A and B are shown apart, each in its own frame.
Chain A
Amino acid sequence: MTLLKREEWQHLVREVDWTLSYVDDEAVYPEWMSGTGKVPREAWAKWEEDYKVSYPEYVATQREKESSAYAVKAALQRSTAWENLSEGWKSSTKMHFGGVTLVESEAVLAELKMARFGLNGSWRNMAVFGALDEIRHAQITLFFGHEFVGKDPQYDWTQKMFHTNDWVAVSLRNLFDGMMVTSNVVDIAIQLPLTFETGFTNLQFVALSADALESGDVNFANMISSIQTDEARHAQQGGPTLEILVEHDPVRAQWVIDKAFWGSARAFAALTGPAMDYYTPVEHRKQSYREFMEEWIIDQFVRTIEDYGLKKPWFWDEFMKGLDTWHHALHMGLWYWRPTLWWKPTAAVSKDDRDWLREKYPNWEKVYGDKWDVIIDNVNRGDMELTLPETLPWLCSMCHLPCCVATLGYDNRWRVRDYPLKHNGVTYHFCTAGCRQIWWKDRDNLNHPTVIDRFLAGEIQPMDVGGILGYMGLTPDVMGDDPDYSWAADYKDRLIVPRVPVAGA
């Protein structure tokens, strides 16, 4: 007996929609879950993914990937590779493990929602594979991170981080709950597979994989490369969904993409930016964060949305300017508030580091160099208490990251500007005009209270640094510190011939 050709049977397993007779379509695909909006219900019949996969093919491929990833891990477990990694690079991986593992788990919920409420059988089928992918990603990341818990308790935050009230956890929960959990499936498909996975995970997985190999961390590169190979397949749920949405409701399509792009860009500036431009040792950096963003995200994103007849987001100028500032300021904030982290952030502002930063970011010295100089002199004098916080940074009501975006004014001075908004008698502060605009348009959607909101509401007791660290779940064996402050050594001579401060650049 000969087997049927693939194209002869595949439609039978892909196109599994049928006409409902016992219940209304609305009862099975309610608007608040399925979110068809202005798109006529029958329009979704056209939904078609580019690369079709059957379940046996899926299982065979995934089995191969898993075997290969775990074989490499087993081989490296007997080596001393981890012991030889720099603390800076290890911090990149701790940040990734803590920041990503449970997001993968949350993505399972998003895929399952599309697998149940997607408006086409083929879409639901594809989302089942997506859910299986995300289960694998959560498991593999958790398992790889777990190996190091015995060597360094900060790796315990691979599993723990998302369950704490650490400000980074609150920020990521706010972003991903909105993107993956509270949205209807049409918006999920545009935000998660199309904008976040097609765009941003490329940066985290491809770029960080390159830096991992340069830093000698074959195990980490192996893990994230294995994950990345799944993304291309399940990320294609975005394209067909967007195509149909653009045809019937281009305004909604533009808004959902813009919002997801902005939120993703802010989170990546906080996590991937410092990992690439500071934590990865300067001799191992492949490209700057800005260069990677331009190559892997911006060119591709703009091409994608223009192909669908959409425009660059309204915030484009603000976003592009932010490529020179957002992650540098967030890095300084992460370092200054280092006890609130589950990794060891190296400042990485030695003279070699600064030469590299100046070359990649011509304004870096002017905007950030003077502040690092004050910190460096305090470190070299041993005035460590001056390098540690006594209050909280103000956290943006939208992205929950510190309000730390400096812009160049008409007076030629770099200043952090305030973006306030009064609503229902409460004053909110935002880091950027982009965050303020999105919060306003989305104000009826989910918005977690920031750690500042919680502090002022009296939820954090006692109301001091110790109380804040306790609330965030930080214990002395985990809370972050600079691994060795060695980058300050280059400037020790300056204490004999003091630097002339030039403030207000």
Chain B
Amino acid sequence: MTAAAEPQLVPLNAIFAEDFVQILVPVMSNNTVAELGEAIAHHVEGRRVPKRDLPKVVFHDGKRLDPSITVAEAGIGPLDHIRVEYSDDSREI
């Protein structure tokens, strides 16, 4: 059995909801998907996109990710594109 890999820095290309620009957001491979969503929101929510009282959902390669798994478990690699949306069932992507 091998030791768990050291957490790695994972720089990402990210877009938050209807924001006007993609941004650089670095996270660690052992961050959860929920933490990833918040890291991206930090740069946008209440800065350019109105804050909404709704959970956030994270999309990678067109798939909606389980918020409890880690970035590494989700198969997210450096330079990948991540989209975060507010959870709104009537407007599901």
Residues of chain A whose beta carbon lies under 8 Å from any beta carbon of chain B: 329, 332-333, 336, 367-368, 370-371, 373-375, 378, 386-387, 389-394, 402-404, 406, 411, 413-416, 418, 420, 426-427, 429, 452, 455-456, 501-505
Contact = CB atoms under 8 A, between A and B. Distances in A.
Interface centre among A368, A373, A456 (most CB of B within 10 A): A456
Given A370-B50, A420-B81, A452-B24, A390 B43 contact: yes
Contacts of B86: 503-504
B26 to A, nearest CB: 8
Contacts of A333: 20-21
* Chain A interface helix/strand/loop/mixed: mixed
* A-B pairs with lowest CB-CB distance, top 5: A501-B50, A394-B22, A404-B21, A403-B22, A427-B79
Contact of B20 (A329, A411, A413, A452): A329
Contacts of B91: 411, 413, 504
Nearest to A406: B20
* Chain B interface helix/strand/loop/mixed: loop
Interface centre among A332, A391, A426 (most CB of B within 10 A): A391
A371 B51 CA distance: 11
Interface centre among A329, A332, A416 (most CB of B within 10 A): A416
A374 B20 contact: no
Contacts of B20: 329, 332-333, 367-368, 371, 404, 406, 416
Interface centre among B17, B50, B51, B83 (most CB of A within 10 A): B50
18 contacts: A329-B20, A332-B20, A336-B48, A371-B18, A373-B50, A375-B47, A375-B48, A386-B46, A390-B43, A391-B23, A393-B24, A411-B93, A415-B15, A416-B19, A418-B81, A426-B79, A503-B52, A504-B17
Contact of B24 (A373, A391, A505): A391
Given A386-B47, A504-B91, A329 B81 contact: no
Given A386-B46, A391-B23, A392-B24, A413 B81 contact: no
Interface centre among B18, B21, B22 (most CB of A within 10 A): B21
Given A386-B47, A503-B50, A394 B18 contact: no
Contact of B18 (A375, A387, A390, A413): A413
Given A333-B20, A393-B22, A404-B20, 6 more contacts: A332-B48, A367-B20, A370-B18, A371-B48, A501-B52, A504-B91
A148 to B, nearest CB: 32
A371 B13 contact: no
Given A329-B21, A429-B22, A394 B13 contact: yes
Nearest to A337: B21
Nearest to B93: A411
B11 interface: yes
Contacts of A368: 20
B73 interface: no
Nearest to A403: B22
A411 B92 CA distance: 10
Contacts of A375: 47-48
User: Chain B interface residue count: which class?
Assistant: 20 to 34
Given A371-B49, A374-B46, A504-B91, A415 B18 contact: yes
B80 interface: yes
B48 A374 contact: yes
A389 B43 CA distance: 8
Contacts of A387: 47
Interface string B78-92: 011101001010010
A432 to B, nearest CB: 12
Interface in B33-86: 42-43, 46-52, 79-81, 83, 86
Contacts of A427: 79-81
A402 B22 contact: yes
A373 B49 CA distance: 9
Nearest to A427: B79
Contacts of B28: none
B81 A503 contact: no
A393 B23 contact: yes
A467 to B, nearest CB: 13
Contacts of A426: 79
A456 B50 CA distance: 30
A14 to B, nearest CB: 51
A329 B15 CA distance: 14
Contacts of B48: 332, 336, 371, 374-375
Interface centre among B20, B24, B46 (most CB of A within 10 A): B20
B88 A504 contact: yes
Contacts of B43: 389-391
B20 to A, nearest CB: 5
Nearest to B14: A394
A91 to B, nearest CB: 20
A406 B23 CA distance: 14
B68 to A, nearest CB: 25
Contacts of A502: 50
A503 B46 CA distance: 11
B65 to A, nearest CB: 16
Contacts of B17: 503-504
Nearest to A388: B47
Contact of A455 (B23, B24, B49): B24
